[in-house]
Structure 1
């Protein structure tokens, strides 16, 4: 007969579950960080029970990345006129932070997008009204809308790029015998690592500039090292495939982010 668990039973179950999850997490992290591609191979070869699921790993690190970006002020989501004294002071204080949009003079965005807004209005009247509304907003109101749109939709847009990333790998490795699901595993692990590395670059103290340099260097070379471990092939062939993959992914990410922010403005 079922009975409510006692405090001791509850704690025993909770601690057991936590230790098991923690063990999986550390094993997954060690492979993900220091042996590029090995975690993917472990899954492909059926050794999955001891590791965190790829989708959960990706979602966790992507959420951490966007949260860190938002709450540490690294997003650079701003519209600032060049002659705005507050903006000028902020730029002088932190010249490394880019702006999503910039006005060299007040009203430049509204004037420069008049034809675009008319075209949007012809496609969808509601979208046209929202675009006109955005163009009439003050600088602070636009920044608020952009920030809301970015954090509300960009994480989803980036996530939906993973199947495309895997498709690019499938095309680059035609004849390798790898199934699409295996390419998707690689995509989740590689991009999960990228989110983790970028989050660490924002929060770990940059001692003498070394930490960011090391993390940035590892971020650049991680994917080709992982590709060679999982798919094999010469260094030259892997390097060429990696360059094509990164070019396609960069184009896709840029379009996805633009579409997500645009959707957030026009919805």
Structure 2
């Protein structure tokens, strides 16, 4: 009995080591004879189309996004060995790992398409996104503001002129905190009515007025996320260009710098995704953004040190230079996104 069991396991192991045969002998696309899972003429993979829905989804992900066993070890190498996958790509070892651009689209869909909207729906206490506009003219007040006022001003109702609106302070609204007198003040209805009756003049002013008073915060935020995902597509090549300028003496073509830039942004997206997951699981805990920034700084330094074969100290200085320039460019991109959101 034990001998039969041993023989059965040996046969199963031998069968598992055999290459996977295609489900049919000739390509369904071009008719060429198949000698493996992929057609040698048109490149189409041989798979069964009449299959269960779950299996068809996995086949689609496997074909288009390499959502198979390669994803696991690619992510492992990407995280624990900075710069390694970029060197592997430049050395021609591409098929054993998930392609960098497929990896980027996977991480961007995870961050911008799944986790970010999901975090909004989970965190109900977050008032950033709702169906009300930024300036809600249907209410009588804009926002409550706490200010420190002198004791002499508390004997009677006080009106303070701020811009075109008035701030009314009532004695019964004052609270004592840390031996300081604070008053909760609100814009009065006159300022609201003045804003309602305001007529924009230029075209840009009309668009801005409409987005502030008619378009909800949720729609504006969705536009901002959409523009941000496209902005990264332009920021990645710019960062690659910065790498090329800083390491111009390494005599590498632009593609090598771009591959490293893609991998760095993938790790950043995964780190931000982890931050969103942390916020959904522990909504009242401190944000890990500082530690993410510190980890990304270390990761950037090690990546360029390994990829360009440079000492850590010198790589750290160049990483600081790259991060300073790239942060400034990112701020410009954020300003451009804000202009597109409110003026488009």
Fold in common (TM above 0.5): yes
Which structure's relative contact order is higher, taking Cα pairs within 8 Å and 6+ residues apart? Answer: 1
1:33 counterpart = 2:79? yes
How many angstroms apart in 2 are the aligned matches of 1:50 and 1:242? 29
1:61 counterpart = 2:135? no
Structure 1 residue 185: Cα displacement: 0.4
Structure 1 residue 146: Cα displacement: 2.4
Structure 1 residue 152: Cα displacement: 2.3
Name whichever structure is richer in strand by fraction: 2
- Could you tell me which residue of structure 2 aligns to residue 70 of structure 1? 117
1:143 counterpart = 2:211? no
- Structure showing greater radius of gyration is 2
How many angstroms apart in 2 are the aligned matches of 1:26 and 1:6? 26
- Could you tell me which residue of structure 2 aligns to residue 185 of structure 1? 259
In structure 2, which of residues 299, 309, 313 is the aligned counterpart of residue 222 of structure 1?
A: 299
8 Å Cα contact 1:54/1:189 also seen in 2:
yes
Residues 240-255 of structure 1 mapped to structure 2, 5 A cutoff: 240-255=317-332
Q: Which runs of 5+ in 2 are unaligned?
A: 1-25, 29-46, 136-141, 147-185
Deviations 1:126-175 (A, max 9, x none): x343123234x06xx45234213212211101221111000111111121
How many angstroms apart in 2 are the aligned matches of 1:189 and 1:72? 25
How many angstroms apart in 2 are the aligned matches of 1:168 and 1:197? 22
Deviations 1:194-226 (A, max 9, x none): 1001101221456xx799476554333111111
1:49 is paired with a residue of what secondary structure? Answer: coil
- Could you tell me which residue of structure 1 aligns to residue 90 of structure 2? 44
TM-score normalised per structure 1: 0.71
1:162 counterpart = 2:208? no
1:161 is paired with a residue of what secondary structure? Answer: helix
How many angstroms apart in 2 are the aligned matches of 1:220 and 1:179? 25
How many angstroms apart in 2 are the aligned matches of 1:54 and 1:259? 27
Deviations 1:214-244 (A, max 9, x none): 6554333111111101012222221111111
How many angstroms apart in 2 are the aligned matches of 1:264 and 1:71? 21
Q: Would the alpha carbon gap of residues 150 and 210 (structure 1) be closer, same or farther in structure 2, given more than 3 Å must change?
A: closer
8 Å Cα contact 1:228/1:235 also seen in 2:
yes
Name whichever structure is richer in helix by fraction: 1
Structure 1 residue 179: Cα displacement: 1.2
- Could you tell me which residue of structure 2 aligns to residue 132 of structure 1? 209
How many angstroms apart in 2 are the aligned matches of 1:258 and 1:42? 37
8 Å Cα contact 1:153/1:261 also seen in 2:
no
Which stretch has the larger CA shift, 245-254 or 37-46? Answer: 245-254
Q: Would the alpha carbon gap of residues 65 and 174 (structure 1) be closer, same or farther in structure 2, given more than 3 Å must change?
A: same
Structure 1 residue 266: Cα displacement: 2.0
1:83 counterpart = 2:173? no
How many angstroms apart in 1 are the aligned matches of 2:116 and 2:60? 33
How many angstroms apart in 1 are the aligned matches of 2:298 and 2:80? 12
How many angstroms apart in 1 are the aligned matches of 2:317 and 2:92? 30
Structure 1 residue 249: Cα displacement: 1.5
